[in-house]
Chain A
């Protein structure tokens, strides 16, 4: 049982790290601030989700587990607010989003 949990937890941690790394690659590859935010979104949604659930399996399902659940909840509630504030600030600062040519913008 202990072994199964350890392997499952390792798999989740790896999966979470995968999303964090891909999010990082995305931030480097994307052309402007708005598209970079989409890439960063991977890190704070599924990256945090899988890493925190992986850590939950390492606890004895006690108060620590509950605290990890709450950390996950707070992250998921606050990160979109921060992203929105960042996007709004960028627009306010007259940053023009890169738009695909075919679409003719907004």
Chain B
């Protein structure tokens, strides 16, 4: 599914105008016009900075996100409980460590989503991300196991591939 830049900008404009309408809640001619002017202004700025590409306007992953995000919320909840238990136990049983590993994502967008998902899950933080891979700081061995099992890696790969 290759979209031309014009189609992407048009998609973004629709999105922004819908947001304007929802956020303002006033539907007078003046405000509708101001919204349209703002949207066109932002569209001009965005196209001057970069032509929105698959990365800048990733509409193709939206269907996949509907499945990925609920799963991520559950994972975040589980690791929240694990970290809360560590914090509240009197001996503070942390075993912090730093590890490097490779993800299997093919696109920058996929790597970005994976790195942010790791950081969003308490117990693991992406401290570095470059061509060599990910460097993760983990609070405990268990927190790391959750990442290295590769479930999240697989799901992000499926998400970025689902175009």
B87 interface residue (CB < 8 Å to A): yes
A91 smallest CB distance to B (angstroms): 6
Cα-based distance from A18 to B121 in the complex (angstroms): 18
Interface of B: prevailing SS: mixed
B163 at the interface (CB under 8 A from A): no
Question: Contact size class for A?
Answer: 35 or more
Q: A39 and B83: CB pair below 8 A?
A: yes
Task: For chain A, residues 2 to 33, give those with C-beta under 8 angstroms from any C-beta of chain B.
Answer: 19, 22-23, 25-26, 29-32
Question: How far is the CB of A93 from the nearest CB of chain B, in Å?
Answer: 12
| Contact status A25-B87, CB under 8 Å | yes
Known: A19-B80, A42-B83; 7 extra A-B contacts, CB below 8 A, are A39-B122, A41-B80, A41-B83, A41-B121, A41-B125, A45-B120, A84-B126
A binding-site residues for B, Cβ under 8 Å: 19, 22-23, 25-26, 29-32, 34-35, 37-39, 41-42, 45-46, 49, 63, 66-67, 76-77, 79-81, 83-84, 87-88, 91, 97-100, 102-103, 105-106
